[in-house]
Structures are given as C-alpha cells and as structure tokens.
Chain A
Amino acid sequence: MSLPLSIFVIVSVIKSVVVLFVLLTSVAYTVWLERKVVGHMQNRWGPSRVGPFGLLQPAADGLKFLFKEDLTPPHVYKPLFLAAPMIAVIFALTSIAVVPFGNFVTVDGYSIPLQITDVNIGLLLILGVTSLGVYGVALAGWSSNNKYSLLGGLRASAQMVSYEIALGLSLVGVLIQSGTFSLRSIVDAQAGHFWGFIPRWNIFHGQIIGFFVYLVAAYAETNRIPFDLPEAETELVAGYHTEYSAMKFAMFFMAEYANMITVACVATLLFFGGWHGPLFGPAVLQAILPVFWFAVRVFCFLFLYIWVRGTLPRFRYDQLMSFGWKFLLPVAIANLVGTAIAVAW
C-alpha cells in the first residue's frame, strides 16, 4: 500500500459510494431496459408515459414501492420473513466490491485502482457470496407459510446447488490458464492480440466451451428464463415472493437484477478481456475509455439476458435437473480436463 491510511480510507469511502450508486442506478435502468426491449420484441411500446421514452419510470416505481402498504400476512414466521429480503439484497450487492472496472487512475501522485478492493481470492469471494444468496430465496419460501412459496423456495435451492457446481467448474479452465484468483491479474493476462488483430481474450484462447457452460449455469443461478422455475407464474403464482409486497418485494427484484449485473461483470472479466480495448485521444479520454469498454461489454450481456427472456420458453423441472447434471456438468469437467492437458503440454 503506497497510500497513507487517512487517504486510503477517504478514497475507499468515495469508491464505495460511487460504485454502490452506479450499481443501484444500473439495477433500476436494467428493469426499464428489460420492460422496453421485451415490449418492442412483443410489438408493444413498453413504458412510455413517465418522462421521455419512459425514462423516469424506475423513479416512479421506486416511489410507488415506498408508499405502498407493507403487508405482513398472518401465520408467517416473522423474523425470517423480514430477514429473507435483506439477506437476498445484502449478498447480491456485496460481490460488486471485488469487481475491477478499469485500470489505475493517478490522482495527485497517488495511483488508485478502479476497484473497491483487490483481494487475491477475488473470484472465490464472488462465488462464496453468491452461494450465500440462495438463503434469501429459500428462507423467503419457507417462512411465508404458503405452499406455492415453499415449492418455489425448494426449487430455487435445489436448482442453485445443482448449477453452482457446473458454474464453478466452468471457471476453473480460466483459472488454470491465468494461474491466479485475483480478478485484476486475470484481466491483465488477457492483454494483447493474437497475430496482431484477434484480442487475446480467454474466449478466443480455448475457453469457448467454458464460456457457454458459464453462461447457461449463470442464467440458472440467477433464476432467469429459461430457468425461472422458482417463480414460474403459471404453476406457482409468483413462487418464493408470493406473500411479499411493497419494498420487501422490490428488494427481491433488486437482488435478482444486481445478481444479473454481477454475472455480466464476471463474464466480461474472465472471458472477454475486462476493460482492454483501443485507447486513443487525450489523457482524460484514455483514462475513461477502459471503464467505457468494460461498461459496453456488461451492457451487451444484460441485453443478451433480456433477449433470451424475450425468446425462450421455460424448462420443465425434470428437464432442468437432467440438463444440469447429465449434460452441463460432464461438459464442464471435459473442458477442465482438456484445458489442464493443453496447459501441461
């Protein structure tokens, strides 16, 4: 640490506030984007009344959630019923702390990394924190004392535990190639080009199977279509959050979208070279461009999420389980063994 303690604390606080603000704003506008894009895919307009292009819709929604009556149904197990949405949101927001979103910035002689904190087990930390997120969903389902909620919670925990294994194994290929858990070092290892024009991203570096396994498993982990069985509305009303209303419901919503953003960030960092991209122009532009390239890739992933949601139907539950265990897991293991052999060669 080259920074003095006082400056380190100030810089960390500023970074945390900015990152949290950006994350929450992106969560709100991902919801807007989803409603808008899915609307256009289904030949309707989506939100269009509040502000130009409906851009103020997230603010209106937020106010509405705050002013709605906060119902707690009778016969719920109150401590856990209240704790479950908090658990979901806390763990969804925590993992952004280790995500690097750009290179170093030099301010007043101090070199500051564009990341809240760089730990040398960054990727493991993200995996650990997201694996704890399942408690929010499971406990919400259980404490609601409602058969639909319980089934949703059970489905969610079974699904997330199953797909977590394929998700973890799909990342090991990248880890073997770069030899570190630090997200910053993984991105640094992807600098440069093959033959001068193909970027040296891990997806072009033999990890294309790993990427697709990660993508599918991550969709299942975030309970998105086609894996949104925990909240399948045709079978379970709304699944684990059936009994929740007002801001508590909104917290589950926020957690889901924050998890989507984390998944998009990890995919960008591990498979698509993070913030690497062409740099040009004056010094200020050169400082901003890496963050811009990073944001563009994350946006592409979020758009892909929405696109898939507008395109695919839902799995049946037995299809979901057999796909996860009998197809995705063997493919992930094969990819891991293949990468290990190629690296050892």
Chain B
Amino acid sequence: MSFHLILFLVFAAICGAGAINLLAQRHPINSALSLIAVMGALAGEYLLLGAEFVAAVQVIVYAGAIMVLFVFVIMLLNAGEEEETKGSRVAFLFGIPGMLIAGLLVAWIMLRHSLTAAVPIGALPGPPAEIAQLLFHNFLLPFEVTSVLILIAIMGAVVLASKPEPRAGKVE
C-alpha cells in the first residue's frame, strides 16, 4: 500500500467520523465544528488527488468563510442544547432503507458504468491556470449563469433582510 493511499484512507476516516459526529452531537456548536473537520479532511483528499487549488478554495470558502458565519450565528443566538426526540417512524421504515439503497445504487453505477474507472493522480486539472482555462474559456457560459444565480440569491437575501415588518392596525 502506498503512502498516498494510507493518507487517503486516514482522511476518509476523519471525514466519515466527523459527519457521524455532526449528527450525534446535541450542541449546535459541536456539530458546526464537526462540519469544519469534515471540510478540512475533504480538502486533504483533494490535495492528495492533486487538486491543490480546489483544496485551498475548499478551506478558504467553506471552512474559513461559510462556517465562520455558522459559528457566528450560533454564538449570536446563544443556541442551547437540542432536545432529543424518539425519532420518526417514517424515517425508520422508509428513510433509512431508501437512503441505503440509493447510496448503494450510486456506488454501483459509479464503479461499474463510469467511463474512466479510476483516474490516475495528476490526470485531472490541478494547477490554478488550467482550472482558470476551464472556467473562463471552456465553461464560460455555465460559470456566468451560476454567478447570476448567486447574485439573484444575494438580492433576495437583501430584500428579505431589509423589508420592515408591516404592522397591522398601527397608524403612524
């Protein structure tokens, strides 16, 4: 077993353990920190696959910006421990088996019917220049459409946040 593979499995184990811990923890801040660990481990996996740029962006955007906002909101609302429920029966009867079947199906399709069974390390674009070439040349239209989509989402958030509550029955 090569050193790369061992590291890959270690990061995968951290990733899985973090994801399970995220669900198992009862305090929101512990869940948020588990999610950060998952993001960090994912960045490690990208790095091992030779995608340095994606790894760095994963850390900067997800762990460094989005999760900071999560933690910020948890701190600001001073969210306490969650209450435990017995769980829903629908989830036990249909949800969990359905998820297992869907996961196995996806894994089977990816293993059996994918055109490139395993891509060797370095065959996919890793350096920033090649990713820039892909994003701003080959896939320019999807990229710009996505940015417009995000812009619309931002505008929606601003509208929702800035609209004053209409107060019924109050005459100014």
Q: Mark B46-77, 1 if CB is under 8 A from A, else 0.
A: 00000011011101100111001101101110
- Contacting pair B75 A153 (CB below 8 A): yes
The interface residues of chain A lying within 8 Å CB-to-CB of B33 are 80
How many Cβ-Cβ contacts under 8 Å join chain A to chain B? 70
The answer to whether A164 and B72 have CB atoms under 8 Å apart is: no
Q: Chain B residues near A181 (CB, 8 Å)?
A: 128
Q: Give Cα distance in the complex from A150 to B78, angstroms.
A: 10
Q: Are A139 and B71 in contact (CB under 8 A)?
A: yes
Q: In the complex, which of the residues B59, B76, B127 contacts A128, with contact meaning CB atoms closer than 8 Å?
A: B59
Chain B residue at minimal CB-CB distance from A80: B29
CB-based contact A121/B128 at 8 Å: yes
Among A128, A154, A158, the residue within 8 A (CB) of B64 is A128
B67 to chain A, nearest CB (A): 8
B42 contacts which chain A residues (CB < 8 A)?
none
Q: Is the CB of B71 within 8 A of A131?
A: no
Residues of A within 8 Å of B36, CB to CB, are 135
Residues in B with CB closer than 8 Å to A160 are 68
- Given A128-B64, A161-B65, A164-B65, A142 and B56 touching (CB < 8 A)? no
Cβ-based interface call for A66 (8 A): no
- Give every chain B residue within 8 A of A179 (Cβ-Cβ): 129
A208 in the interface (beta carbon within 8 A)? no
- Specify the chain A residue showing the minimal Cβ separation from B63: A132
Question: Closest residue to B53 on the A side, CB-wise?
Answer: A121
Q: For A114, list chain B residues within 8 Å (CB).
A: none
Q: Which of B63, B68, B75, B128 contacts A161 (CB 8 A)?
A: B68
A residues contacting the other copy or chain, number (CB 8 A)? 27
Bound complex: CA of A54 vs CA of B127, how far in Å? 49
A119 within 8 A of B: yes
B interface: dominant SS: helix
Q: Answer yes or no: A178 CB below 8 A from chain B CBs.
A: no
Instruction: Give the CA-CA distance A80 to B74 in the complex, in Å.
Output: 14
B105-141 CB mask vs A (1 if < 8 Å, else 0) is 0000000000000000000000111000000000000
Q: Contacting A134 at CB < 8 Å: which of B56, B68, B78?
A: B68
Per DSSP, chain A at the interface is helix
Q: Are B63 and A119 in contact (CB under 8 A)?
A: no
Q: B76 to A154, Cβ gap below 8 A?
A: yes
A contact residues around B56 at 8 Å (CB)? 121, 124-125, 127-128
**Which residue of chain B lies nearest to A157 when distances are taken between CB atoms in the complex?**
B72
Contact among B52, B63, B75, B76 for A120, CB-based, below 8 A: B52
> From residue A105, how far is it (CB to closest CB) to chain B in Å?
26
* Contacting residues of chain A (127-186) with chain B, CB-CB under 8 angstroms: 127-129, 131-132, 134-135, 138-139, 141-142, 150, 153-154, 157-158, 160-161, 164, 179, 181
Provide the residues of chain B in CB contact with A131, threshold 8 Å. Answer: 59-60, 63-65, 68
Residues of B with C-beta under 8 A to A141: 75
Residue in B52, B64, B129 whose CB lies within 8 Å of A132: B64
If A120-B52, A154-B76 touch, does A138 touch B68 (CB 8 Å cutoff)? yes
Give the distance to chain A from B69, nearest Cβ to Cβ, in Å: 7
The distance from the CB of B157 to the nearest CB of chain A, in whole angstroms, is 15
- What CA separation (Å) do A124 and B63 show in the bound complex? 14
Bound CA span A141–B75, Å: 9
Task: Give Cα A85 to B57, complex, Å.
Answer: 25
How many whole Å from A171's CB to the nearest CB in chain B?
12
Complex interface bits, A106-129 against B, C-beta within 8 A gives 1, otherwise 0? 000000000000011100110111
Across the interface, name the chain A residue whose C-beta is closest to B72.
A157
Complex-state Cα separation, A124 to B64, whole angstroms: 12
Is B71 in contact with A135, judged by CB distance below 8 angstroms?
Answer: yes
Which residue on B lies nearest to A179, using beta carbons?
B129
Q: How far is the CB of B34 from chain A (nearest CB, A)?
A: 12
Contacts of B69 in A (CB 8 A): 161
Please, how many angstroms separate the alpha-carbon atoms of A164 and B74 in the complex?
Answer: 21
What CA separation (Å) do A121 and B75 show in the bound complex?
33
CB-CB under 8 A from B71, the residues of chain A are: 135, 138-139, 142, 157
Q: Compute how far the CA of A26 lies from the CA of B52 in the bound complex, rounded to whole angstroms.
A: 31
Least distance between A129 CB and chain B CB atoms (Å)? 8
User: Using a CB–CB distance below 8 Å, which chain B residues touch chain A?
Assistant: 29, 33, 36, 52-53, 55-57, 59-60, 63-65, 68-69, 71-72, 74-76, 78, 127-129
Q: Which 3 A-B pairs have the closest CB atoms?
A: A131-B64, A124-B56, A128-B59
Could you pull out 5 A-B pairs where Cβ atoms are within 8 angstroms? A121-B53, A124-B57, A131-B59, A134-B64, A181-B128
